Structure 1
Amino acid sequence: MDYDVVIAGAGPVGLCLGLRLAREGKRVLILEKNATTHEHSRAPGIWCKTQDILESLGVMEEFEKQSITMNALQMHDVDSDRIILRVPLDDIKHLTGYPRIMVIPQSRTERILAKAVGQTEGADLKFSSEITGFTQDKASVTVEWSENGKTQSATAEYLIGCDGAHSTVREILGFHLEGETYGMEIALADIRLKDERTGPMISTDGVIVLAIKIEADLWRMILIHARKEEMSLEERIVKAAGQLFPGKSYEDVWSSEFRIHNRISSDFVEGRVALAGDAAHLNSPVGGQGMNAGIQDTEVLGNILLSALDENKPSHLEVYSHYRKAAVKGGVNRFTDILTNVLFVWKGRILKLVMRTWNIMLRVPFIRKRFVRKITMLS
């Protein structure tokens, strides 16, 4: 057997799983089709439970050096220059070592994790290596991939697909993403400029835009719009930047426009092959829980893989499938679906009214505690 586990995908999910297994003495191969880690910020928010996991992986010190942290959920209405939502995170201090929100570009997250993987004995990380197929029997999985144009193969006890929304592993298994696509679209835009504020901020005086600082002088703007809106993305970015940072020049760093989904794979496991992260489930980015849910998959899957390897019982993977599918479907996907439908009612035009209403409701201790546990993924 060449490896204990082969992992397809070196995003945060695949890297966390590989690091966890290698730290426990397992032989791990991580295959990533891209030439390097991602260059852009993508998913920048890291919730409390995920920070606990990063601590267990021995990388929290580096994350703290490179991130921005906030001790409350807050929203500043730029149009009226007022705080319309503020929710302290004091209610969860007994549930986590990190009662805060951490903000760090995904590019940095991946670099930190990839460096840790590279420094851990037993872990091999190969870039420019795209999985092309696999076969499995009762004893092992044989994985094939293309590495710089050459076909390579290896055998392992298990294969884990952490290869994203368009997962090759999921496609080969014949699993399907079941669920819905929302009628709204979201655009993300990162712009660089100097501004003393830290955010988060909102403006609806023109286009609907939220923004948060994700590193020094780098801002993430989130633009909400109807699918058939005629204004181009470039025009929306210009208007949004003008609303949030009037009179200031800025540098366009990166932007992306996409439809949003609430979907889950028809299954998570077949034999010795399992899915995690976006390969297994997609949820609305509202609430910033997608990447976090994937990393939390790896905590459960890592424990079960260690047990399956030590006891030679691949049937243990079915426990992961049952537990995480139920947790995601009834947890993160349901919660972000509720948030999305509430916040996007009337195409987001009453977004600030909703936040002001929440600000009043969340003064009630029972409601606030339940909401904070849900949003921070500690429930």
Structure 2
Amino acid sequence: MSKNTEVLIVGAGPSGLMAAIELRRRGIDCRLIDKKDAPTQTSNAVAVHARSLEMWDNQGIINKVKGKAQRIEGLEIFSQSMKRLASMAFVKHLKSTYPCAWDIPQNQSEAVLIERLGELGLQVERSTELVSAKIHDDGVSCEIKTAGAETTIVECHYVIASDGFHSTLRNMLKVEYEGKDLKQEFIMIDTPLNYPVDLHKIAIFFHPEGLSGVFPMKESARIIVEVANDKSYNRENGVTRETFIEVLKRRWSFDFQLGEARWMSHFFIHERLAKHYQSGRVFLVGDAAHAHSPAGGQGMNTGMQDAYNLGWKLAAVIKGELKDCVLDTYEPERRPVAQNVLKQSTAMTVAAAVKNPLLISLRNFFVRHVASRRVFQKNFANFIGELSYHYRQSPLSLGDKHINLRPGDRSPIIHHSEHFVLYVPENWAKKAEIEALIKPHTSWIELCLATAEQAKQLALKHGFCLVRPDMYIACQGCCTKELAQWLDAWVK
């Protein structure tokens, strides 16, 4: 038995759900399967950063999440003696509609994504796993198995592997998953917390026995504690609420109260990066493509943005709007992002976990005297918020390079369309000329007469700015020649 679809998505975590939403909002037929019999039931990844919030706004998801999330406005770092080493306010440094992070348990954010997907006419097929996949020149034949049912052959044009760290598809394709495991060992608890630090800020505490961190949520807080060098901790005894109370009493000099545990876990840090994100008609997203330290809380965000990048490209190719070669831009745009996240999150984890007294002194000096500087804080906040990433080197980016805004940069404007948006000044002399140029493509390019504020944000004076569906600048210029070149290069 076979059932055809345009795209088969394997794995219904946040990245897979995002990929399905991006395809369905553009009318693409797809199927989303997951071998688990139910959605995520625990809090797992909690941080949703500024760029992901902009993405959710574009997708019409943001208001569904807002009441469930804790707004995180900054970061505090403390020494062993509880002296504040650094304090950072995100709102001062993030030029975004969302100059903050939102902390929300993954089971709740997934529920919102599943609800949105249902509105778009698609349900997750549970207890269904991929058995095999054969890639052909014109498609992929996938054998899937649903619990209690016969094996089914799915014929599709493309497959998205969002099936996690132990990706079946990545292993089938023999794509190398390069990296190592860090030596740090952590325990984690989600619990209501009463303590003397602002619950709208992340708090990091340095200690010779290991760092600890608090990540507040709406009704509880995520507490992560490093225990690799804690002689009193015994993994054989398991992790209980009392374990955390005992460890934290030795490390925190202030009074605190923990409520009942909502979730507890124990983990090591895995660092991996897939050598390739694409193998023919199969694409890797999320943890199937990269895994790294939770420092900065960027794993889920990076994975969702993989899907956000890939989804519109697949849709445009399937609908015959853009050439097939647009899919070849996915890996060179997204892999460097994960590569940088890996590099920076590893550096943060290693620095926070140093045990040598001299290195501790050097680290604390750096945090106190360098991390407090405005330039450092701006760069750090934009890295964490994932606003600093760009696709300037992508072949999809073409046109004039303004001083502050270049092709490939993130658009400062959040639009609410699934299409390309072409911004032009209302009184631009060449408006009629550019309207004629895009007339054959108005089904997927929307012309927008920029307001004075939008023109200022996009540095529009006497030109245009073409913004991609994922809100990055594709092309900009002062005459229609640049846009004509872009269309000639990419339009089918």
Distance 2:135 2:65 in 1: 38
When structure 1 is superposed on structure 2, of 225-234 and 180-189 the one drifting more is 225-234
Contact residue 193 and residue 251 of structure 1 kept, 8 A = no
Question: Is 1:280 the counterpart of 2:265 in the alignment?
Answer: no
1:320-359 residue pairs with structure 2 within 5 A?
Answer: 320-329=330-339, 331-346=340-355, 354=363, 357-359=366-368
Q: Aligned in 2, Cα 1:348/1:15: closer, same or farther, shift over 3 Å?
A: farther
Q: Which fold has the larger relative contact order, with Cα–Cα distance below 8 Å and residues 6 or more apart in sequence?
A: 1
Paired with 1:161 and 1:237, the residues of 2 have a C-alpha distance of 37
Distance 1:107 1:149, change over 3 A: same
Q: What secondary structure does 1:2 align onto?
A: strand
Structure 1 residues 316 and 247: CA distance shift in structure 2, 3 A = closer
Structure 1 contact 189–254 (Cα < 8 Å) conserved: yes
Output the CA distance in 1 between the equivalents of 2:294 and 2:358: 18
Counterpart position of 1:237:
244
Cross-structure match for 2:379: 370
TM-fit CA distance, 1:83: 4.2
Q: Post-superposition shift, 1:17? A: 1.1
TM-superposed deviation, 1:316 = 3.4
Counterpart in the other structure of 1:297:
306
Alignment match, 1:118: 118
Match of 2:214 in 1: 211
- 1:27 alignment partner, one of 1, 26, 29: 29
Alpha-carbon contact 1:207-1:239 (below 8 Å) kept: no
Q: For residue 460 of structure 2, what is the aligned residue in structure 1?
A: none
SS of match in other structure, 1:69: strand
What is the Cα deviation at residue 378 of structure 1? 1.2
Deviates more, 1:303-312 or 1:343-352: 343-352
Helix, strand or coil: the match of 2:283?
A: strand
State the 1:252 CA deviation.
Answer: 2.5
Greater Rg over alpha carbons, structure:
2
Q: Which runs of 5+ in 2 are unaligned?
A: 389-492
Change (3 A) 1:346 1:149: farther
User: What per-residue deviation string (whole Å, max 9, x for no partner) do you get for residues 313-348 of structure 1?
Assistant: 55433221222122321x211111221221122289
Aligned positions of 1:195-206 closer than 5 A: 198=199, 200-201=202-203, 202=205, 204=207
Q: Which residue of 2 aligns with 1:51?
A: 53
Q: Distance in 2 between matches of 1:24 and 1:100?
A: 29
- Residue matched to 2:145: 146
CA distance in 2, matches of 1:253, 1:203: 25
Q: Distance in 2 between matches of 1:49 and 1:356?
A: 31
Instruction: Output the amino acid matched with 1:185.
Output: E
**Corresponding residue for residue 134 of structure 1:** 133
Name which of structure 1's ranges 27-36 and 223-232 shifts more when overlaid on structure 2.
223-232
The aligned residue for residue 74 of structure 2 is: 72
User: For structure 1, which segment, 109-118 or 305-314, has the greater mean C-alpha deviation from structure 2 after superposition?
Assistant: 305-314
Matched residue type, 1:184: Q
TM-score by length of 2: 0.69
| CA distance in 2 between partners of 1:159 and 1:172 (Å) | 13
Q: Name the count of aligned residue pairs.
A: 374
Whichever residue aligns with residue 153 of structure 2, its letter is S
Letter of the structure 1 residue corresponding to residue 91 of structure 2 = D
Give the 3-state SS of the residue equivalent to 2:227 in structure 1: strand
Structure 1 gaps, min length 5: none
Residues 4 and 155 in structure 2, CA contact (< 8 A), matched pair in contact too: yes
> Hey, what does 2:446 align to over in structure 1?
none
Separation (CA, whole Å) in 2 of partners of 1:31 and 1:228: 42
Name the SS of the counterpart of 1:146 in structure 2. Answer: strand
Cα RMSD, aligned residues only: 2.8
CA contact (8 A) 1:44 1:104 kept: yes
Q: Is the 8 A contact 1:75 1:83 kept in 2?
A: yes
For 2:385, give the aligned amino acid: T
Using a 3 Å threshold, how does the CA distance of structure 1 residues 296 and 274 change in structure 2: closer, same or farther? same
The percentage of counterpart residues that share the same residue type is 25
Counterpart Cα distance in 2 of 1:341 and 1:249:
28
The match for 1:61 among 48, 51, 63 is 63
Alpha-carbon distance, 1:366 to partner: 2.2
Distance 1:93 1:223, change over 3 A: closer
Q: Which amino acid aligns with 1:110?
A: E
Which residue does the alignment assign to 2:177? 177
Aligned CA distance change for structure 1 residues 97 and 132 (closer, same or farther; 3 Å): same
Distance 2:216 2:58 in 1: 27
The equivalent of 1:89 in structure 2 is 90
Task: In structure 2, give the amino acid aligned to 1:326.
Answer: P
